[in-house]
């Protein structure tokens, strides 16, 4: 996440320095988790698991991933970065379809935990 803003500085002697579109990225933006938008849990050994990927500099304090089908039924939940979804719900394979995810986590920035929420779509492909 990056935003731009207008910066105006008053220098010694009453001089002004103006800059527009100054980019700024908050510290927590460097720690966005990545969730693939598709996976294929079909047992072929390729993309069979949905797993959240973490940047190497991230310190994650809390984590919760929930996946819902198109009718709002929760089909997966994890509170651990190490737990991947195998595409099953109650022991049965889910259908190839569009699913929604809700990812909540907090990252350590300086000495504070900054909460972050990501939502999006993912496809189960067979």
Q: Which residues contact 15 (CB under 8 A, 6 or more apart)?
A: none
How much is the pLDDT for 43? 87
Express each pLDDT in 87-112 by its tens digit: 999 999 999 999 999 999 998 877 78
**Topology given in CATH for the domain delimited by 27-124:** Immunoglobulin-like (2.60.40)
The pTM score is: 0.75
pLDDT of residue 107: 85
Q: Tens of pLDDT along 6-35?
A: 555 555 666 656 555 555 555 555 577 889
Report domain extents, the chain: 27-124
Answer for the pair 36, 50: CB distance below 8 angstroms, yes or no. Answer: yes
């Amino acid at each position: 996440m990056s935003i731009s803003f207008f910066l105006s500085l008053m220098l010694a002697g009453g001089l002004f320095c103006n800059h527009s579109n100054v980019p700024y990225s908050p510290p927590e933006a460097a720690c966005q988790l990545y969730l693939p938008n598709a996976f294929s849990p079909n047992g072929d050994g390729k993309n069979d698991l949905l797993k959240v990927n973490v940047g190497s500099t991230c310190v994650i304090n809390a984590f919760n991933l929930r996946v819902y089908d198109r009718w709002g039924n929760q089909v997966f939940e994890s509170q651990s970065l190490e737990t991947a979804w195998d595409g099953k719900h109650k022991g049965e394979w889910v259908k190839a379809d569009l699913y929604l995810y809700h990812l909540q986590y907090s990252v350590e920035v300086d000495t504070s935990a900054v909460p972050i929420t990501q939502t999006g779509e993912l496809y189960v492909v067979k």
